[in-house]
């Protein structure tokens, strides 16, 4: 990946949560966006300004905790900003928790009113998780879009407090994580009328422990396989303020969006008619437990006990017990009220639990689960061996003619296809046996070099003297006998 930014040193603590985001003319949302995450314990923001001209540049440069980076390059060529934020995260975020966001997104999880995101990462570290899966939840008001006026600096939820749950659908994806979510109010308003596809992708994984080799694929919608938390969160999405109509028109004119077809849909419909997303089934967001109650997010007992422990330290045992009881009641009620999965839904469920694009563990129930985040480095080491390097052209030639399975060409596998079974299959194959002479010769040569290295100074003759000293003495005696003769 080509690096485009100069990166001055930034001192961060080991337990800091770092926020990375790209902006283009977002001065309206930036004040509250920064305030929200500051309240969540964030002390460092890394902003990529993509040629803004509405005051965004000046505002960001005036913030002491914002590290400012500028680029005038194409947003599309950066894969919707992914290459820019990943470059910064690779440099500043290694082995730290990183939030990759847009400025109209607020990350929430069950209990966020009681503990901060920074405190949540302590719990994630303790349990060995590296990421949190989120539904990408569109928020809207109960008024027509043209009347949804937002006052900069005020909480987004004051303007758009409603969401819905019955218009989202689940299906099997091609890339990790294991479930894709589509639909929502955007699909209902802009896609159904045209009958085009399932609508926008409504899942994201914004919070990750950024390690070496970490990589997003499509914005933050998909990423390399990592250990996911057993609970989920939500990314509240505040796109639909009154300014959205003009913004959609400008984006179509600018033509620098990955989803240009989507923005054309938005602009065309908003120019023709008034849009109101609210309907009788809409739900008002009160707190994070509203999402838990309606089955939009999930929680587990370990998270509940962590919340109880932190609330006890902050507010006392009585308040912690009361919140735990409420949390448990809502969690159990949500599980009880969730509709049962019927047999007729098996075709959809089976695609989720047996997705061929994702690895499965090796057989044997007593084996430890495979850390999928380590699979790609193992394949990389395999591909760099002499055996695989010397047979690469032959294997690719045979595979192109249908004479060799794709499993024996690991250079062409995607991360999702790098499974333990395929790794074992390569090591048991003819191709690995073919390289045995190369490996045997290399071991013999290494042994000879080590022998030569230590044979000169390690052996001694009788009497404790060095062998080379004994040889010199014999040469001197031979020379003296020759002189006498």
- For 51-60, 184-193, 373-382, 392-401, which range has the lowest pLDDT when averaged over its residues? 373-382
pLDDT score for 425: 64
Contact 415, 226 (CB under 8 A): no
Alpha helices in 22-71 (DSSP H): 30-39, 56-61
Looking at the chain, the whole-number percentage of residues with pLDDT higher than 90 is: 58
Contact 42, 118 (CB under 8 A): yes
In this predicted structure, the answer to whether residue 333 has a pLDDT above a threshold of 50 is yes
**DSSP calls for 313-350:** HHH-HHHHHHHHHHHHHHHHHHHHHSPPPPGGGHHHHH
pLDDT at residue 477, rounded to an integer: 58
pLDDT at 181: 95
C-beta separation of 177 from 372 below 8 A: no
Percentage with pLDDT > 70 across the chain:
80
Residue 193 has pLDDT above 70, yes or no: no
* Mean per-residue pLDDT of the chain: 85
- Specify the pLDDT at position 277: 97
Q: Which pTM does this prediction carry?
A: 0.75
The DSSP element (H or E) to which 366 belongs, if any, is none
pLDDT higher at 387 or 296: 296
Structure tokens at 145: 């879009």
Token representation of residue 445: 């040569």
Q: What is the mean pLDDT of residues 340-367?
A: 67
At residue 443, the pLDDT reads 72
Inter-residue contact 277 to 140 (CB < 8 Å): yes
Q: Do the Cβ atoms of 64 and 38 come closer than 8 Å? A: no
Domain ranges of the chain: 17-299, 371-456
What is the model's pLDDT at position 467? 45
Surface-to-core class of residue 5, CB atoms within 10 Å of its CB (0-12 exposed, 13-18 middle, 19+ buried): middle
pLDDT value at residue 39: 97
Residues shown for the chain? 485
DSSP assigned state of 267: H
The pLDDT value given to residue 366: 37
DSSP SS3 for 194: coil
User: What is the rounded average pLDDT of the residues 200-226?
Assistant: 92
The winner for highest mean pLDDT among 140-149, 194-203, 474-483 is 140-149
pLDDT at 363: 37
pLDDT band at 349 (very low <50, low <70, confident <90, very high): confident
């Amino acid at each position: 990946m080509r690096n485009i930014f100069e990166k001055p040193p930034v001192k961060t603590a080991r337990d800091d949560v770092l926020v990375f985001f790209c902006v283009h003319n977002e001065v309206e949302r930036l004040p509250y966006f920064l305030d929200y995450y500051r309240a969540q314990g964030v002390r460092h923001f890394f902003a990529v300004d993509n040629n803004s001209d509405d005051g965004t540049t000046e505002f960001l440069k005036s913030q002491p905790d914002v590290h400012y980076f500028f680029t005038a390059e194409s947003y599309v060529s950066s894969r919707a900003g992914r290459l820019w934020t990943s470059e910064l995260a690779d440099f500043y975020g290694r082995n730290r928790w990183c939030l990759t966001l847009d400025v109209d997104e607020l990350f929430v999880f069950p209990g966020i009113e009681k503990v901060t995101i920074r405190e949540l990462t302590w719990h994630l570290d303790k349990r060995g998780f590296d990421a949190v899966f989120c539904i990408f939840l569109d928020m809207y008001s109960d008024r027509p879009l043209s009347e949804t006026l937002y006052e900069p600096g005020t909480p987004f939820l004051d303007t758009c407090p409603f969401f819905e749950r019955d218009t989202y659908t689940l299906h099997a994806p091609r890339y990790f994580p294991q479930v894709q979510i589509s639909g929502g109010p955007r699909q209902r308003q802009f896609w159904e009328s045209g009958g085009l596809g399932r609508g926008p992708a409504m899942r994201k994984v914004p919070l990750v422990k950024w390690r070496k080799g970490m990589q997003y694929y499509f914005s933050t919608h998909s990423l390399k396989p990592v250990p996911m938390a057993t609970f989920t969160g939500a990314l509240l999405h505040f796109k639909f303020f009154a300014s959205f109509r003009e913004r959609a028109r400008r984006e179509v004119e600018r033509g620098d969006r990955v989803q240009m077809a989507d923005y054309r849909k938005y602009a065309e419909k908003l120019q023709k008619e008034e849009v109101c997303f609210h309907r009788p089934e809409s739900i008002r967001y009160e707190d994070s437990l509203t999402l838990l109650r309606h089955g939009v997010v999930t929680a587990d007992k370990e998270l509940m006990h962590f919340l109880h422990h932190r609330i006890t330290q902050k507010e006392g045992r009585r308040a912690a017990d009361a919140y735990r009881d409420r949390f448990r009641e809502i969690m159990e009620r949500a599980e009880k009220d969730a509709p049962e999965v019927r047999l007729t839904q098996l075709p959809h469920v089976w695609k989720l639990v047996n997705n061929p694009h994702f690895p499965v563990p090796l057989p044997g129930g007593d084996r430890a689960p495979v850390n999928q985040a380590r699979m790609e480095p193992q394949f990389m080491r395999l591909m760099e061996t002499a055996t695989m390097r010397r047979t690469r052209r032959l294997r690719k030639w045979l595979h192109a003619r249908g004479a060799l399975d794709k499993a024996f060409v690991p250079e062409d596998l995607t991360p999702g296809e790098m499974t333990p079974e395929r790794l074992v299959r390569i090591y048991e194959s003819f191709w690995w046996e073919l390289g045995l002479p190369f490996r045997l010769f290399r071991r013999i040569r290494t042994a000879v070099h080590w022998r030569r290295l230590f044979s000169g100074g390690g052996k001694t003759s009788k009497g404790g003297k060095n062998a080379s000293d004994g040889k010199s003495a014999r040469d001197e005696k031979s020379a003296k006998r020759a002189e006498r003769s």
